[in-house]
Amino acid sequence: MSAVSPPPFQAPKPNTFLASAGYAWSGLIHTAVHQRNMRMHLISGLLVALVGSGIPLGLAEKVTLVFCVLLVLFAEMLNSALEQLVDLAVQQFDPKAKLTKDIAAAGVLVLAVGTVAIFALVLVHNADAVTENLLAVQRQVLVGVPLTVVSGALMHERARPGAVNVLLGVVGFALWAVTLTWSTSAVFSAMAFGFLVVSAAAARARRLQK
């Protein structure tokens, strides 16, 4: 008599929008914690948000920059998901598996380089606005550099005591609040806030894993 095979595993399905959003948030934070390139993209996105909130830009330029930043993050998350899938399916070295990962990584690289080029073109096109708002640009650099450092420190691979993470988070959000006093774009300020939240959540997740 043949043994009865166990029923196939079925992952629990979210039955509410909040549950689905929670799973998506977990995926985002997991990528930020475990993927160095994702952390680099998040920091780059924060820099774009700080520049965008420091100088006046047209609607089309704002939409283009926001879309490019989000597209790069989306591509990096898809690349990370594909890597996990390949590692799950292939238990030993396979040239085709390596090629699959390389092609996916190349796609992210193309998007990232294109975003940098578009960002540079936007700055060149708005050179007069940058010159006219030189004081605002200087203030943004003065606050934006330490803010970016704080964000990078929160996402750093080394786990730190919880009190240090809290201190970094307080400093980061305080610096962000300072930029609000002269921000020219609520959209870019909100985007910078979102990147800070992700940085703080990544620091918390890394500490909980230790």
**Bigger pLDDT: 88 vs 38:** 38
Query: Which residue type occupies 65?
Result: L
The two tokens of residue 115 are 């975003």
Which one is catalytic: 76, 83, 132, 157?
Answer: 76
Q: Is the pLDDT of residue 197 over 70?
A: yes
pTM of the full predicted structure?
0.88
Task: Report the chain's mean pLDDT, rounded to a whole number.
Answer: 90
Q: What would the mean pLDDT of 90-97 be, rounded to a whole number?
A: 84
pLDDT at residue 11 in the model: 59
Give yes or no: 76 in active site: yes
The two tokens of residue 74 are 């989306």
CB neighbours of 69 closer than 8 A, spacing ≥ 6? 44, 45, 48, 49, 115, 191
Percentage of the chain lying above the pLDDT 90 cut? 68
The two tokens of residue 126 are 């708005």
Provide DSSP, 17-37: HHHHHHHHHHHHHHHHHH-HH
Q: Is the pLDDT of residue 3 over 80?
A: no
| Confidence tier at 1 by pLDDT (50, 70, 90) | very low
**Bigger pLDDT: 67 vs 9:** 67
Whether the CB-CB separation of 160 and 203 falls below 8 Å is answered with yes
pLDDT tens per residue, range 8-35: 655 566 678 888 899 999 999 999 999 9
Q: Is the pLDDT of residue 7 over 60?
A: no
| Confidence tier at 90 by pLDDT (50, 70, 90) | confident
Backbone angles phi, psi at 93, to 5 degrees: -60, 135
**Separation between Cα atoms, residue 151 and residue 41, nearest integer Å:** 12
Centroid of chain to Cα 24: 14
pLDDT tens per residue, range 130-179: 888 888 888 888 999 999 999 999 999 887 888 999 999 999 999 999 99
Percentage of the chain lying above the pLDDT 70 cut? 93
